Amino acid sequence: MQVPFAYAGKILRVDLSQERFWQETLTPEEWKQYLGGAGLGAKILFEEVPPEANWDHPDNRLVLATGPLAGLPVWGTGGLSVITRGALTNGATSTQANGFFGANLKYCGYDAIVVQGQARRWVYLYIDDEGVEFRDATHLLGKDTWETQDVLQDEHGLRGHQLSVYSIGPAGEKLVRFAVIAGDYGHVASKNGCGAVMGAKRLKAVAIARGSKGLRVADPRGLYQVAEEIAYELKTDPSTRSLYEYGTLPGVLNILRLGALPIKNYTTNVAPNQVDLSLWEAPSLREGFDHRGHQCSACGMHHCHMQVLPAGPHKGEIVDEPEYEGWSGAGWTIGVTDRVAVSWLNTQVDRAGIDVNEFGWLIGWVMECQEKGYITKEQLGGLELRWGDAEAAKRLLDMVIERRGFGDVLAEGVKRAAETLGGPAAECAIYTLKGNTPRGHDHRGRWEEMLDTCTASAGTLETGPAVRPTEFGLPARINPFDPDQVARQVGGLLGRRHFEDSLGACIFTTRTWMETLCRALNAATGWDYTRDEAMRFGRRTAALFRLFNLRCGIGPELEKPSPRYGSTPVDGPNAGIGIASHWEHMLDVWYETVGYDRKTGRPLPETLRRLGLEHLIPEVWGKEAVSYVSS
């Protein structure tokens, strides 16, 4: 079978229980239908994981997939999507990371790795031009994600971008429910406990040497032209220029001004008087730190950096410059406003292998509860945890990743820990009823993201921030507190993010017109994808994730924020503006917009038909489907 343009053309199947692997191919039509990344992962999850196979069951699948643009000269195309049944919601997960994994995988001749089973011993996978090996990982146990990469680089005599290692830290080994898969010194697939899934399979790491297998594209000249166009737009367009120059660093003050920076576990939206906000401007967050670029494959963004701590008890240590979510989760959410301390703590979280967002919500919750007397010093083994104490937060982090004492309760995540304590402590916790937590924002000031987080079927934001909404007939700007406008925008943009997450590219470098992304895809593959077809693809992927969740018992009754998450801000720009009274109406509008049944959560038969999933109508609708099938 001829390999389609832009693809390696093979899926690597791995059965850890039997320590065997084999290759699988798809037809050109199937590659076009599922693309890669989130699209391919949704197909595999829906078709192969039965409802009785919970997140830690050997029959759960762990899909590590890239896409058709990975390894090509378009900025940020080293992308990796991790798709699985996650540990926090016990439902579908689609989470992305960047770096060099996706490109290295393609150059070794694979578009995706699908892992099943459970190893009898701890192993890691080593993949290069010569093939695939199961190697003993006993010597890696207890090592953090950076140490794991160091050891494997030494072991294989490969440095820098020659070897991409994605691994779990001690948290994943101990099945902490919000463990991540991290690689290339600071790139993280972080959502819904995908690292715990990898730990349950006793797979410590996947190490991929940079292979030498080439990729063919249909229209090299056209691909270079559109790649240059995307790069020029990122560098010059007012909506993306600061992202090009500083990555997500400008988000701290921009979001503070909107009243959406989470401060001290949603107890305030006002920065402390003693904080010099000029030090939190994007240039200042980079100045004062010796740093160097740490960009991803084929990327010119001034985004990912390594830096040296200039002061404090850890002076001289090399750390990963925090993303916005690091400044939030390891900083403002827990009251830490010393930039050096935040930068250090953020890297400790990444190295331990846990999600910095869940970490922030968890530690902030404990800090508030201890301040109010809901959690005692004795419960924490003598630890006193005060707002802003990064060193104490690190000690609690160690308790969590070791599941030591009260850390064993906290290792279950915010929702389960809050339910265990109950009473007034539970009322302080921030989570969705499905069990996941928000990204690093105060969503009481970003209603669109709260609605997106609660209705999403992939363990995190599914629509994401609006990108070029006018391309889809939506207004360029909306009133962020108008329930109808918010719900129609979130529903109207459903699908775009899943399309992006199936290309093998970074969402920061795909912040362009959908038409432009389709031109890049078509130049690479020789296809004729249109904007409408791309959105249809994305909505089909969203429907598969939703149907998987419904099959697993995750329904619309769980699409709600916790009391604190959905509370009304008491101060700051949005004081007194609450979402709770509008919630049910927003769900009504969102369901109507996306074409799902409000009562059951199921995509309507006409929606399934429109998405090319008409073959699922009998399964989804049962006897109710007869009239639709015969019509």
pLDDT digits (tens, 9 = 90+) for 293-306: 777 888 989 888 89
CATH of 247-426, one of 3.40.50.2300, 1.10.569.10, 1.20.1250.20, 1.10.3720.10: 1.10.569.10
Distance of CA 260 to the CA centre of its chain: 20
In this prediction, residue 629 carries a pLDDT of 47
Q: Are 343 and 307 in contact (CB under 8 A)?
A: yes
pLDDT digits (tens, 9 = 90+) for 151-199: 999 999 998 889 999 999 999 999 999 999 999 998 999 999 999 999 9
Average pLDDT of the residues in 548-564: 98
pLDDT band (50, 70, 90) for residue 624:
confident
Average pLDDT of the residues in 108-135: 97
pLDDT digits (tens, 9 = 90+) for 454-463: 999 999 999 9
pLDDT digits (tens, 9 = 90+) for 303-341: 888 999 999 999 999 999 999 999 999 999 999 999 999
Q: Tokens 């432009």 label which residue?
A: 516
pLDDT digits (tens, 9 = 90+) for 534-545: 999 999 999 999
Ordered DSSP codes for 267-328:
TBSS--TT--GGGGSHHHHHTTSEEEE---TT---S--EEEE--SSTTTT-EEEPP-HHHHH
Q: Are 420 and 374 in contact (CB under 8 A)?
A: no
For domain 447-494+530-630, give the CATH number.
Answer: 1.10.599.10
Residue range(s) in the chain whose domain bears CATH number 1.10.569.10: 247-426
Question: Which helix (H) or strand (E) element contains residue 489?
Answer: helix 483-492
Domain 11-209 grouped into CATH 3.40.50.2000: no
Residue range(s) in the chain whose domain bears CATH number 3.60.9.10: 11-209
Residue range(s) in the chain whose domain bears CATH number 1.10.599.10: 447-494+530-630
Is it the case that residue 242 has pLDDT exceeding 70? yes
Average pLDDT of the residues in 206-224: 96
Is it the case that residue 626 has pLDDT exceeding 70? no
Q: Kindly report the backbone phi and psi dihedral angles of residue 127, in degrees, each rounded to the nearest multiple of 5, phi listed first.
A: -125, 130
pTM for the complete prediction?
A: 0.97
